[in-house]
Amino acid sequence: MSGYRLTTVETVRERGSWAFTAREGDADREVFLVPCADEPGGKTDAGATDGEDQPVRAWINRCTHEDQRLHREEVGAVTRGGSVVCPKHGSAFDTCEGSCDNGEAAGTTLRSIDVEVRDCAVFLTDDDLTYLYEGLPDDDGDDQGSASSSHLTF
Ligand code: FES
Protein backbone atom coordinates (compact mmCIF):
# COMPACT_ATOMS: atom_id res chain seq x y z
CA MET A 1 0.00 0.00 0.00
CA SER A 2 1.33 3.41 -0.89
CA GLY A 3 0.20 6.82 -1.98
CA TYR A 4 0.90 10.39 -1.04
CA ARG A 5 -0.75 11.51 2.20
CA LEU A 6 -2.88 14.53 1.28
CA THR A 7 -4.81 15.54 4.37
CA THR A 8 -7.27 14.14 6.89
CA VAL A 9 -10.93 13.23 6.47
CA GLU A 10 -11.70 15.62 9.31
CA THR A 11 -10.10 18.54 7.46
CA VAL A 12 -12.13 17.82 4.33
CA ARG A 13 -15.31 17.66 6.38
CA GLU A 14 -14.51 20.81 8.31
CA ARG A 15 -13.71 22.87 5.24
CA GLY A 16 -16.30 21.28 2.98
CA SER A 17 -13.69 20.72 0.27
CA TRP A 18 -9.90 20.62 -0.07
CA ALA A 19 -7.89 21.19 -3.23
CA PHE A 20 -4.44 20.30 -4.48
CA THR A 21 -2.45 20.48 -7.68
CA ALA A 22 -0.89 17.43 -9.27
CA ARG A 23 1.19 16.62 -12.33
CA GLU A 24 -0.12 14.35 -15.06
CA GLY A 25 2.35 13.84 -17.88
CA ASP A 26 3.44 17.36 -18.71
CA ALA A 27 0.25 19.04 -17.52
CA ASP A 28 -0.82 20.33 -14.12
CA ARG A 29 -4.17 19.12 -12.85
CA GLU A 30 -6.35 20.69 -10.18
CA VAL A 31 -8.12 18.20 -7.95
CA PHE A 32 -10.51 18.70 -5.06
CA LEU A 33 -11.71 16.42 -2.30
CA VAL A 34 -15.27 16.46 -0.98
CA PRO A 35 -16.98 14.47 1.75
CA CYS A 36 -19.25 11.64 0.66
CA ALA A 37 -21.32 8.96 2.37
CA ASP A 38 -21.28 10.58 5.79
CA GLU A 39 -23.42 13.53 4.86
CA PRO A 40 -26.30 14.25 7.21
CA GLY A 41 -29.30 12.49 5.77
CA GLY A 42 -26.93 11.04 3.24
CA LYS A 43 -26.54 7.87 1.35
CA THR A 44 -24.42 5.58 3.41
CA ASP A 45 -25.75 2.20 2.49
CA ALA A 46 -27.20 2.42 -0.99
CA GLY A 47 -25.45 -0.48 -2.62
CA ALA A 48 -22.16 -0.10 -0.83
CA THR A 49 -20.17 -3.30 -1.10
CA ASP A 50 -16.69 -4.51 -0.26
CA GLY A 51 -16.07 -1.61 2.09
CA GLU A 52 -15.93 0.75 -0.84
CA ASP A 53 -18.01 3.44 0.82
CA GLN A 54 -15.11 5.85 1.12
CA PRO A 55 -15.95 8.98 3.11
CA VAL A 56 -14.12 11.25 0.67
CA ARG A 57 -14.06 11.49 -3.12
CA ALA A 58 -11.63 13.31 -5.43
CA TRP A 59 -12.63 15.04 -8.66
CA ILE A 60 -10.86 17.05 -11.32
CA ASN A 61 -11.59 20.68 -10.50
CA ARG A 62 -13.30 21.59 -13.71
CA CYS A 63 -16.94 21.71 -14.71
CA THR A 64 -17.82 19.44 -17.61
CA HIS A 65 -19.77 22.22 -19.30
CA GLU A 66 -17.18 24.97 -19.55
CA ASP A 67 -13.75 25.69 -18.19
CA GLN A 68 -14.94 26.64 -14.71
CA ARG A 69 -13.50 25.70 -11.33
CA LEU A 70 -15.88 24.01 -8.93
CA HIS A 71 -13.57 24.55 -5.96
CA ARG A 72 -12.32 28.12 -5.79
CA GLU A 73 -9.50 29.22 -3.55
CA GLU A 74 -11.48 31.83 -1.64
CA VAL A 75 -14.67 29.91 -1.01
CA GLY A 76 -13.95 26.25 -1.67
CA ALA A 77 -16.64 24.21 -3.37
CA VAL A 78 -20.30 25.06 -2.91
CA THR A 79 -22.09 21.92 -1.76
CA ARG A 80 -25.80 21.46 -1.28
CA GLY A 81 -27.77 18.32 -0.49
CA GLY A 82 -24.98 15.93 -1.42
CA SER A 83 -24.00 17.78 -4.59
CA VAL A 84 -21.29 20.19 -5.71
CA VAL A 85 -22.84 23.18 -7.41
CA CYS A 86 -21.07 24.84 -10.34
CA PRO A 87 -20.72 28.55 -9.60
CA LYS A 88 -21.18 29.56 -13.22
CA HIS A 89 -24.49 28.06 -14.36
CA GLY A 90 -25.56 26.08 -11.31
CA SER A 91 -25.39 22.48 -12.48
CA ALA A 92 -25.11 20.15 -9.48
CA PHE A 93 -22.78 17.12 -9.43
CA ASP A 94 -23.29 14.25 -7.01
CA THR A 95 -20.42 14.34 -4.49
CA CYS A 96 -20.21 10.53 -4.41
CA GLU A 97 -20.76 9.69 -8.07
CA GLY A 98 -19.64 12.84 -9.88
CA SER A 99 -22.71 12.61 -12.08
CA CYS A 100 -24.92 15.48 -13.14
CA ASP A 101 -28.53 15.26 -14.28
CA ASN A 102 -29.46 18.91 -14.40
CA GLY A 103 -28.77 22.20 -16.13
CA GLU A 104 -26.10 22.84 -18.72
CA ALA A 105 -23.92 19.91 -17.64
CA ALA A 106 -26.75 17.32 -17.57
CA GLY A 107 -25.70 13.84 -18.66
CA THR A 108 -22.01 14.30 -17.83
CA THR A 109 -19.77 13.04 -15.05
CA LEU A 110 -16.75 14.62 -13.43
CA ARG A 111 -13.46 12.83 -13.91
CA SER A 112 -12.62 10.96 -10.73
CA ILE A 113 -9.17 10.64 -9.19
CA ASP A 114 -8.24 7.64 -7.08
CA VAL A 115 -7.82 8.32 -3.38
CA GLU A 116 -7.91 6.02 -0.42
CA VAL A 117 -8.69 6.61 3.23
CA ARG A 118 -6.49 4.90 5.81
CA ASP A 119 -6.48 5.73 9.51
CA CYS A 120 -8.58 8.84 8.89
CA ALA A 121 -6.06 10.22 6.38
CA VAL A 122 -6.62 10.63 2.65
CA PHE A 123 -3.97 9.28 0.27
CA LEU A 124 -3.55 9.97 -3.43
CA THR A 125 -3.37 6.53 -5.03
CA ASP A 126 -3.95 7.47 -8.66
CA ASP A 127 -1.13 6.10 -10.79
CA ASP A 128 -1.54 8.87 -13.36
CA LEU A 129 -0.99 11.76 -10.96
CA THR A 130 1.94 12.98 -8.92
CA TYR A 131 1.22 15.36 -6.05
CA LEU A 132 2.70 18.84 -6.43
CA TYR A 133 1.26 21.13 -3.73
CA GLU A 134 -1.79 22.02 -1.67
CA GLY A 135 -4.12 24.57 -3.21
CA LEU A 136 -4.57 25.82 -6.74
CA PRO A 137 -2.15 27.51 -9.11
CA ASP A 138 -2.35 31.27 -9.30
CA ASP A 139 -4.40 32.43 -12.22
CA ASP A 140 -4.30 35.65 -14.12
CA GLY A 141 -6.39 37.96 -12.07
CA ASP A 142 -8.56 35.22 -10.59
CA ASP A 143 -7.59 36.02 -7.06
CA GLN A 144 -8.90 39.20 -5.62
CA GLY A 145 -7.85 38.75 -2.06
CA SER A 146 -5.15 41.35 -1.69
CA ALA A 147 -6.97 44.62 -1.75
CA SER A 148 -4.82 46.43 0.73
CA SER A 149 -5.82 49.68 2.20
CA SER A 150 -3.54 51.73 4.29
CA HIS A 151 -4.71 54.22 6.81
CA LEU A 152 -2.08 56.79 6.34
CA THR A 153 -3.28 60.16 7.38
CA PHE A 154 -1.37 63.37 7.38
S1 FES B 1 -19.79 26.06 -16.52
FE2 FES B 1 -20.60 24.69 -15.05
S3 FES B 1 -22.67 24.50 -15.59
FE4 FES B 1 -21.86 25.85 -17.07
Model confidence over 15-26: pLDDT tens digits?
Answer: 999 999 999 999
CA of 13 relative to ligand 1 center, distance in Å = 24
- 52 vs 23, higher pLDDT: 23
Query: If you classify domain 4-134 with CATH, what class do you get?
Result: mainly beta
pLDDT at 43 over 60: no
Residue 86: other Cβ atoms inside 10 A? 24
C-beta atoms surrounding 35 within 10 Å: 22
1-5, 20-24, 30-34, 91-95, range with the lowest pLDDT: 1-5
Tell me the CA–centroid distance for residue 129 and ligand 1, in Å.
25
Domain map (residue ranges) of the chain = 4-134
125: left (phi over 0), alpha (psi -120 to 50) or beta: alpha
